[in-house]
Amino acid sequence: MLGTRDTLRILLVSAHEDLRDEVGHALESWTGDYRLYWVAESGLAVSRAEELVPQVILVDDDLAGVSATTVIRELSRRVPAAAILALEDADEVAKASQAVLAGARSFVTKPLHADELATMLQQVLRQARPVSVSTEAVEAAALRGHVVVFCAPKGGTGRTTLAVNTAIGVRMVTKQEVALMDADYAAPAADVVMNLHNQRDISNLLSRASRLDEELVSGVLAKHASGVQVLLAPPPADVAGPISVPHVQQILMLLKQMFSWVVVDLGLPLDEMAFALLDGSDRIMVSILPDMVALRNTRLILDQLYEWGYPDSKVRLIVNRATMRGGIGRRDIEDRLRTRVSHQIPDDAALAMHSINRGVPVIMNHRRTAMGRSLRKLAQLVVDDLEGAVATKPSRVDRGRRGRAFASD
């Protein structure tokens, strides 16, 4: 049974964006907190459900050539705690019966009606049955790559610099495979910061989205001298068509299978694409500057993240250029944002600019400087934080206070 303060997680499996909108409108009458997730590729439904652990899964009967019954049967087997509801056309009673036999708890007819959907949700949640998690499931979850997303309330916070140096630092600390995904599709910069001249980027994968595999993704990645492999963003002028949410979700899941760590440099705005990446993350690193405009915008972005259901234990606040002259102090930042600062990077604008212009990250050639040491410490904190979370060490995570885990200074 869902607690009164819990956020209801609903995963929709449907190839049709208009159905996603229809479900969203129908849920507007739901009185509690909820998050609606959408996966358009039926082949990703199980892995997405295992990642999100939703209380309810809605499966459309029209999955573009794939049997909804087969998908429901697999979801029922792999995510037994979720209540599966089939979305069926009103005149397809036989298909609804097949769905229930395959493991769906019940069905809802299309077009959707808010009252009917709400009533059915309440019924299946009351009937929710607890299940035990097997050792194999825990081990499988631990083997998935960690995803760390860097975002910012505005441009100019040094977000890309932090993401790049963290990716390289994690590689140095763990000796594990690390991927960096440049997801700033409006103003990509990772190629400049890392001095990469790869002719391939994510656009080379979009035309082959229906048959993506690890080999195809690997052939597009740029190899950096640090050992980090980079999925570059295309120059904005070269993007022939929109980069769709399902494509990005599929690519991110493949990267998680291929690498122990995936660092994402996320651009603005926080749109549907951004939230698809944030949904798949283990930690959200918000980089800010110590000035009043940044704090105002940061408060807005934090409110937006919490409103969308991301727990405060998932969000980390990183102050860049923390020692800049005239900047706001850490205590004032924490008081104004009502959030604990997880880490601070000292100000060294000249070194940062020199590093960007040369295309050599600070953590590689200037690791003994104050900035280099702080960036190395940030990478170590990321590793300790997430490896501690996987091992469920209580000293690593305190969900009772916002930002308590991952505090450094």
Which tokens sit at 356?
Answer: 């960007």
Residue 31 gets the label, from left (phi > 0), alpha (psi -120 to 50) or beta, of: alpha
pLDDT value, residue 249: 81
Q: What is the pLDDT of residues 4-63, one digit of tens each?
A: 446 788 999 999 988 998 998 889 888 888 888 898 888 889 988 888 888 999 999 998
Lowest mean pLDDT, pick from 34-38, 55-59, 89-93, 95-99: 89-93
pLDDT at 331: 95
Contact (Cβ atoms closer than 8 angstroms) between residue 280 and residue 147:
yes
The pLDDT tens digits for 302-337 are 998 888 778 888 999 999 999 999 999 999 999 999
Residue 261 and residue 174 in contact, taking contact as beta carbons nearer than 8 Å: yes
Instruction: Beginning with the edge strand found earlier in the chain, give each strand of the sheet holding 8-13 in spatial order.
Output: 34-39, 8-13, 56-60, 83-89, 106-110
With 80 as the cut, is the pLDDT of residue 2 above it?
no
Give residue 96's pLDDT.
75
- Per DSSP bridges, beta strands 56-60 and 83-89 are parallel
Which pairs count as long-range contacts for 220-226, CB under 8 Å and 24+ apart, including other chains?
221/179, 222/191, 222/196, 222/198, 224/168, 224/180, 224/194, 224/196, 225/364, 226/168, 226/171, 226/172, 226/361, 226/364
Cβ–Cβ under 8 Å, residues 375 and 165? yes
Contacts of 180 (CB under 8 A, 6+ apart): 163, 164, 167, 190, 224, 228, 229, 230, 231, 262, 263, 264, 265
Q: Chain-wide mean pLDDT for the chain?
A: 85
pLDDT digits (tens, 9 = 90+) for 352-395: 999 999 999 999 999 999 999 999 999 999 999 998 754 443 33
Domains detected in the chain: 8-132 (3.40.50.2300), 141-390 (3.40.50.300)
Let me know: does 195 contact 243? Beta carbons within 8 Å. Answer: no
Q: Cα(408)–Cα(406) distance, rounded to whole angstroms? A: 6
pLDDT of residue 396: 28
Least confidently predicted of 110-114, 142-146, 216-220, 338-342 = 142-146
How far apart CA 97 and CA 107 sit, in angstroms, is: 9
Position 218 scores a pLDDT of 93
Confidence (pLDDT) at 133: 39
